[in-house]
Structure 1
């Protein structure tokens, strides 16, 4: 049985999206149980009772604009804290949240711990699922020294090995592929990656290689990754609207959007399975984020990645 802990309070559209998403998932997966952490308020309609659905009321909610300060770690009655604590206590197999990214990363490190010292957790997004191709980091870390970028390459490679038969081939996102280009940080990260036996490093990657080419783990700092991801999503949405109603073209975009775009990102490098969905998620996106969580829980992603990363450390 896959046990999902669902933080219902982070999305822009309110907890109803999480409630409806949970009901949808339970109707299609007989081996899944869901525990929803929510904040009760007048007029909130709770989902109908279900033998595989548990509702836990919490007295605190971490808002999207809450700052990462010391008091955050004392907010034990918040929905996000309670859902992460369930994962730490092994009463759930995966956490799914649409909430504050910074708070999620900080609390996950605090409550779950990290896989390896000095290996910073990062957000991974699948650009394609078959063959698997991913981008790392998407915003968990903004100011990244070279050693952190090397860690992202290791995390992305372990992710690809755990979830597919693909051989991870790393590219470092840069303004060009020439050795003379890039910042001091990028050049040093390039040097460090070139000296490693694992993962396989193929050098710099340009933006044109995000969705095509042999490099299937694209590494960048969180500022760049977040901007790249949102620009790509924005362009796809724009083109879908632009060609809406046109025979063939519109359906092609819609098919790509529905089958290749995974809903949510995976926070890796912490001791547990964790999916972060987009704050603006509608019902299909909410369902997609939960499905993603179920997939990585079935694969026991955290354990597989931990074994790979720790084996590299001792070499």
Structure 2
């Protein structure tokens, strides 16, 4: 398997991307990585190791800035992001991973790699920590507005992704202001009918915001506008809890510090569970290749795990399964 990595995507590029690539190569013995970016800058970062033979460079002279308008990507064909996407389009790579400009990565996925036949909108699928390990939130920001048929397709995409991740009989919920079928807008009411028709008993009906983290569904479907707000709210809540906990421990003096020491292992496990780096990247579903967007501020671990997400998608034939499910719509 070969994965194209946008080596100059992200706030900490290219060093963390190279380091993350080597971590992934150590974990997956059948993996090859194409580092896409300026060759003269990348070569000094590649240290001799048993994994070096499975890494190669595709030269790209330009970088697509984090602040650039996404629509400009199609004009900037010498950027590392565009050239990494071309590797997938031309079947030189099985997947694309980038920590770069989110809108740019979406443009690369939708307009360079290309949408699956029958899919009108791609969607960002994010793994969110939950009481069951994770919940897939889809869409997490690709589509500010969505029609009912788009939400239906997002449900199918999320269902197949959940199966790939080990959920034998995934349950899909539709994000709404209440659980009753009559709740919500005309859009959500129509989407409810579509999802029920397509997913049958796998559709759990309407779910509320709290169910993303503490519900019994495996997938939560929503528009990108609602999903992005939900995701950013959860991020802010997590930071608030962490900051408040640290402040209260310090205020408690010696006894608080001693108590924290007793809880050190448990707090460490909690931190790991909530750490975005552990979850890797967000899968952009609905396109012809595996495309994964890592966080812009990713460290090497996050890049490695984003590569893992792409690797799992390719190994599990996720794109083929989505083509079979959605190609006829």
Give the gaps of 5 or more residues in structure 2. Answer: 247-256
- The reply on whether 1:101 has 2:102 as its aligned counterpart is yes
Paired residue for 2:279, among 259, 262, 269?
262
Greater than 4 Å deviation, 4+ residue runs: 40-45, 128-132, 258-261
Note closer, same or farther for the CA distance 1:238–1:282 as it changes in structure 2 (3 Å cut). Answer: farther
- The reply on whether 1:77 has 2:75 as its aligned counterpart is no
For 2:38, the equivalent position in structure 1 comes to 39
- Alpha-carbon contact 1:127-1:261 (below 8 Å) kept: no
For 1:289, the equivalent position in structure 2 comes to 306
- Alpha-carbon contact 1:123-1:136 (below 8 Å) kept: yes
Residue deviations 1:102-151 (CA, integer Å, cap 9, x gap): 22222222222211324311111123597663110011111112221111
SS at match of 1:194: helix
SS at match of 2:308: helix
- Alpha-carbon contact 1:240-1:250 (below 8 Å) kept: no
For 2:144, the equivalent position in structure 1 comes to 142
- Alpha-carbon contact 2:119-2:326 (below 8 Å) kept: no
SS at match of 1:210: helix
Give the gaps of 5 or more residues in structure 1. Answer: none
Cα displacement (A) at 1:155: 1.2
Q: What's the RMSD between the two structures over aligned residues?
A: 2.7
Cα displacement (A) at 1:60: 1.8
SS at match of 2:127: strand
- Alpha-carbon contact 1:132-1:166 (below 8 Å) kept: no
Cα displacement (A) at 1:100: 1.5
Note closer, same or farther for the CA distance 1:113–1:162 as it changes in structure 2 (3 Å cut). Answer: same
Cα displacement (A) at 1:226: 1.5
State the alpha-carbon separation in 1 of the partners of residues 100 and 73 from structure 2: 14
State the alpha-carbon separation in 2 of the partners of residues 186 and 135 from structure 1: 16
- Alpha-carbon contact 1:131-1:166 (below 8 Å) kept: no
State the alpha-carbon separation in 2 of the partners of residues 260 and 106 from structure 1: 24
SS at match of 2:214: coil
SS at match of 1:278: coil
Calculate the TM-score normalised by the size of structure 2.
Answer: 0.84
Number of equivalences? 310
The 5 A counterparts of 1:222-301 are: 222-243=224-245, 246=260, 247-248=262-263, 249-257=266-274, 261-301=278-318
For 1:114, the equivalent position in structure 2 comes to 115
For 2:205, the equivalent position in structure 1 comes to 203
State the alpha-carbon separation in 1 of the partners of residues 277 and 294 from structure 2: 16
For 1:152, the equivalent position in structure 2 comes to 154
SS at match of 1:37: strand
Moved more, 203-212 or 35-44: 35-44
State the alpha-carbon separation in 2 of the partners of residues 47 and 197 from structure 1: 47
For 2:251, the equivalent position in structure 1 comes to none
Note closer, same or farther for the CA distance 1:261–1:134 as it changes in structure 2 (3 Å cut). Answer: farther
CA radius of gyration, larger in: 2
State the alpha-carbon separation in 2 of the partners of residues 260 and 283 from structure 1: 9
Paired residue for 1:216, among 205, 215, 218?
218
Calculate the TM-score normalised by the size of structure 1.
Answer: 0.88
Note closer, same or farther for the CA distance 1:199–1:17 as it changes in structure 2 (3 Å cut). Answer: farther
SS at match of 1:253: helix
Structure (1 or 2) with the greater helix fraction: 2
